Chains A and B, each alone.
Chain A
Amino acid sequence: MTARRTRARLAADGALLLVGASFALPLLWLLFASLDSGANLRVRPPKSPTTANFEAVLTDEITFTPMLNSLLLCGGATLLTVVCAVLAAYPLSRHRSRFNRPFLLTVLFTTCLPITAVMVPVYGLFVQVDLIDTTHGTALFLATSQLPFAIWLMKNFMDGVPRVLEEAAWTDGASVPQALWRVVLPLMGPGVGVVTIYTFIMLWGNFFVPFMLLLSPEQLPASVSIFTFFGNHGSVIYGQLAAFSILYSTPVLLLYLLISRRLGGGFALGGAVKG
């Protein structure tokens, strides 16, 4: 039995390492190219590693402005999503009503819709109401696109907070908003944290929405400004592109690490988890 176990484990290890290697190759290119002043499209260790690529892209125009734009756009949208989701989750979790079920089913249904398909009419609508090429308009739409899933998650987290604690607070003279703010939210703090970070990660990586709704170069977030590396003079400096990609990806990778334990598999309960 044990000999068979060992053989099975070796086989599984081998297979996993093979798959892991094929997933690693593109990532390895990113790492090597960012440190190579003469990077091309092949994976190869840099002959003399240098930080020149990073120094070259760390300018206002290339990195700082787009990253700041991303932060404003995604930060604002995340804040709006989380506030609206907490507020919406409260009655859905606490009050019984025949509207609950249809509302939640509609929300769940919406999380499954391909948002990509809505972008053409959204563009048309934004032109008509003069929201096109504005950061706040784009943030409003981004927030809405993540809202259904955020409501769904938040409601589930709030269901985990026992009602008795809130009722105790009411007896002590707290109003409903006070009880929500002082009792319920602190108890579901980790849940709110997960929803916040998850929403931010999704929005940070979103390309299509800002690509469609923002036009002026000085407003573009990093997901769209990355295209300026291409085509300006015909030749692409791959090393700098890689360096910028790393700078742009690092925040979400770190944030994901922060919540990865809670995300696990059970997190996938019915919702379009991928953007």
Chain B
Amino acid sequence: MVRWLPLAPATVLLLLFLAGPIGYCVWIAFTDTQLTGASGSSFVGFDNFRRAFADGDFRNAVLLTLVFTFLSSIVGQNTLGLALAGLMRAASRPVRTVTGALVIASWVLPEIVAAFLLYAFFRREGTLNMILGWLHLPSQNWLFTLPILAVSFANVWRGTAFSMLIYSAALSGIPQEIGEAAAVDGASGPRRLWHVTLPMIRRSIGTNLMLNTLSTLSVFGLIWAMTRGGPGNRSQTLPVFMYDQAFVNSLIGYGTAVALLLLLVGALFSVVYLRLMKVEV
């Protein structure tokens, strides 16, 4: 028994500060706890959940979360990461080094700094509109007209490096001869990609999509610092909605119910991920 003792500190921390809050989350989500007011909390059953599904703002947040995740993680980070990794294999060394460093620097920067940089980029008087002006294209106030697109782009800027690294590793595992053999047999570039390369790295694609989606699902600081979920609620994804309900509207019970739903979605993804990857422990 004593040889398992070293596990104790980690287990205690995980139980106290992770399992504890999750358990507490499950309880609070079924009560009407509020931040203000002397009244204690009482059990309300599934009221918070019923309320959520009937709440237009909640449905809006779910929809925006789906849009944000789809655009930035599945389309943006994933495709761009794969494209970058592929291009790098064909590119010359200095270009590869410089581009890689820039993409990775965007990833390593603290979340809040990234948020400010992209905020400056998308503002009416910012860099994007300056460039559009040079090209004689119409400028607009991106953070007002297309806030969810702006934060999605910000998440692509910040998160693509991860996919790039995963795909670079995966592609370097493919023997060069296989692609060349297919080329000799007359397969075009796109066909080689679709029939040879992609099937060979499908495990990496699975891993990458799963991890990207999970991390995008919990993005808060980036969106909050860029738009506060606004204007109105037009960039209010689930984490921002949860925060607003719990702390701006003081509805802790309701906010926690939303958090619980978010956790459930995350847990579902994690289980699928563990199954799919057949993790060996």
Interface positions of A (Cβ within 8 A of B):
8-9, 11-13, 15-17, 19-20, 23-27, 29-30, 33, 40-43, 80, 83-85, 87-88, 90-92, 95, 97, 99-101, 103-105, 108-110, 112-125, 140-141, 143-145, 147-148, 151, 176, 201, 204-208, 211, 223-224, 226, 238, 241, 245, 248-249, 252-253, 256, 260, 263-268, 270-275
Complexed CA–CA distance, A17 and B95 (Å) = 7
Instruction: Tell me which residues across on chain B come within 8 A of A122, comparing CB atoms.
Output: 17, 21
Closest to B127 in A: A43
Q: Is the interface of A mostly helix, strand, loop or mixed?
A: helix
Complex contact B165–A20 (CB within 8 A): no
Most buried by B among A40, A97, A109, A224: A109
Could you tell me the distance in whole angstroms from the C-beta of A257 to the nearest C-beta in chain B? Answer: 9
Complexed CA–CA distance, A20 and B111 (Å) = 20
Instruction: Tell me which residues across on chain A come within 8 A of B210, comparing CB atoms.
Output: 112
Could you tell me the distance in whole angstroms from the C-beta of A15 to the nearest C-beta in chain B? Answer: 5
CB of B68 closer than 8 Å to a CB of A: no
Complex contact A121–B110 (CB within 8 A): no
Please pick, from A80, A121, A223, the residue contacting B256 in the complex, using a CB distance under 8 A: A121
Instruction: Tell me which residues across on chain A come within 8 A of B6, comparing CB atoms.
Output: 87-88, 90-91
Closest to B85 in A: A265
Instruction: Tell me which residues across on chain B come within 8 A of A97, comparing CB atoms.
Output: 4
Q: Is the interface of B mostly helix, strand, loop or mixed?
A: helix
> How many A-B pairs fall under 8 Å by CB?
278
CB within 8 Å for A92 and B22 given contacts A41-B127, A113-B263, A273-B162: no
Please pick, from A19, A99, A208, the residue contacting B84 in the complex, using a CB distance under 8 A: A19
Please pick, from A208, A241, A271, A273, the residue contacting B116 in the complex, using a CB distance under 8 A: A241
Could you tell me the distance in whole angstroms from the C-beta of B164 to the nearest C-beta in chain A? Answer: 9
Complex contact B125–A117 (CB within 8 A): no
CB within 8 Å for A256 and B18 given contacts A91-B4, A117-B263, A121-B256: no
Interface positions of B (Cβ within 8 A of A):
3-4, 6-7, 9-11, 13-14, 16-18, 20-22, 24-25, 28, 33, 80, 83-84, 87-88, 90-92, 95-96, 98-99, 102-114, 116-118, 120-121, 123, 125-127, 130, 157, 159, 162, 165-170, 172, 207, 210-211, 214-215, 217-221, 225, 239, 242-243, 246, 252, 255-256, 259-260, 262-263, 265-267, 269-271, 273-274, 277, 279, 281
Complex contact A272–B211 (CB within 8 A): yes
Instruction: Tell me which residues across on chain A come within 8 A of B167, comparing CB atoms.
Output: 265
CB within 8 Å for A274 and B90 given contacts A23-B157, A84-B13, A121-B259: no
